[in-house]
Structure 1
């Protein structure tokens, strides 16, 4: 446990990556859109997808963590197992804080009718009927899920090298192309959109076991990965 805590402390020393950059990006998006909403000043609702920036950043962070910290941790004689669980604990801690912050800002946004200028950046309309704790949970699940998708991809690269990335992304592109063609050919896009609109909560619940799947895969890859 001491080594796991050591890994957590190692990660949290890098406050720039874990905290400052994502919230600086989100803060800049908020200020820009607030200026736009204020300048309109005609009662028009300003909807923006800028909140997606912190989720995308979390995915990218997952792909970069190994490159920046794994060799250093192994050089300090930290076991791969301790590195992995220390990283997972850090991810849960950081994204719990982020999930709480996002949901709190969303509640403030809703209470002030969009910061008094009808600006909707943090609030997701299809979640507004859920209780506060439910929205917090969904935000945390989504952030952790995205992080471990990136972490798993990075673990694959660490284990098998650059060629694995060519194979992985080529396969992903091929599967995506075939799927898109099939859905277009049989006219299934509208049906899928309706299904998603009615069952999006089920997708969030499925993200919980998927995090476990990503963790198992990435841990298995890291056990034999080169430093």
Structure 2
């Protein structure tokens, strides 16, 4: 049997973690925002970022599968490459399902419930949902992949190089971000960067992010091949 298929089956046994718990977290945030929206009686739509809780969960899930499932898989003589391929297949399935669910909730929010009767925009967000339905699916699918593999990379980097080097990595990234911010301030690039983002659509930003997702995936694959249990 294909070993990556075994990894996928292993993940499917944890369907609660992939398909139920993230939506319990997201819908809990939705209910809280719904209560707040109902209590405010605002005439204008209340736009909330509560949907981010789902994608944050995907980031955490990327870290968790490395710490909990990777040693278990190696203990059953599953190849590292097969573990990576099985993980990729699992997150692709979970991301596709989530994208469809978000789009259906978005439709219910705008066309069936008039923003849940309290002028709440939780699933149908400005800018993100201005495009066609397939654009919305792509945006959420790529974002879920992005967050998962960012977490997977961090988890696998920590397993490969341990805590000290992980700490050094974060320090180095913080320094790079700080230097970049200083240069943008020094040369007045912030306005130009802001105008560039304002000129983009959700689709164009998603396409721009694809190379970064690919870098995460390639780096994660390389680390998976050399990491120890």
Band of TM-score, shorter chain? over 0.9
Q: Is the 8 A contact 1:158 1:222 kept in 2?
A: no
Matches of 1:217 and 1:43 in 2, distance apart?
48
Q: What is the TM-score when the length of structure 2 is the normalising length? A: 0.93
Matches of 2:97 and 2:33 in 1, distance apart?
24
Deviations 1:34-71 (A, max 9, x none): 11212223524221110111111111211221101001
Provide the secondary structure at the position in 1 that maps to 2:188: coil
Matches of 1:188 and 1:113 in 2, distance apart?
41
Q: Paired residue for 1:158?
A: 159
Instruction: For structure 1, list consecutive stretches of 5 or more residues without a partner in the other structure.
Output: none
Q: Paired residue for 1:100?
A: 100
Q: Is the 8 A contact 2:45 2:119 kept in 1?
A: yes
How far does residue 135 in structure 1 lie from its aligned partner after superposition?
A: 0.5
1:31 counterpart = 2:26: no
Q: Paired residue for 1:46?
A: 46
How far does residue 22 in structure 1 lie from its aligned partner after superposition?
A: 1.4
Q: Is the 8 A contact 2:42 2:119 kept in 1?
A: no
Of 168-177 and 195-204, the range deviating more from structure 2: 195-204
Q: Paired residue for 1:71?
A: 71
Matches of 1:196 and 1:218 in 2, distance apart?
28
Q: Paired residue for 2:212?
A: 210
Of 121-130 and 89-98, the range deviating more from structure 2: 121-130
Provide the secondary structure at the position in 2 that maps to 1:126: coil
How far does residue 157 in structure 1 lie from its aligned partner after superposition?
A: 1.3
Q: Paired residue for 1:224?
A: 226
Q: What is the TM-score when the length of structure 1 is the normalising length? A: 0.93
Matches of 2:12 and 2:191 in 1, distance apart?
44
Q: Paired residue for 1:181?
A: 182
